[in-house]
Amino acid sequence: MWSELTRADIERLKQELQARRSEILVRHAEELTALDVDEAELTVLEQAIDNLVRKFGIGSAEIVTLKSA
């Protein structure tokens, strides 16, 4: 345990916390960007499936469960 706490100790801790906060915000932004990319890819896939369904008139197609390998 600490027996003495100085102003310098407090300032050092504040700087460490600010650095950690900045690192977390960067990771958060990267994760949000990755999620946006995933969402955009799913949207494109969904649109492609919709186009196929309309083009070939397979709106009432039966869902088939595939066996695992």
Section 65-69 average pLDDT: 73
pTM for the predicted model, two decimal places: 0.64
What is the chain's mean pLDDT, rounded? 89
Rounded distance between C-alpha atoms, residue 35 and residue 16, angstroms: 29
Contact 58, 50 (CB under 8 A): no
Q: pLDDT tens, 41-64?
A: 999 999 998 898 888 888 776 767
The burial class, CB within 10 Å (0-12 / 13-18 / 19+), for 43 is exposed
Helices (H), 1-69: 7-56
Contact 52, 58 (CB under 8 A): yes
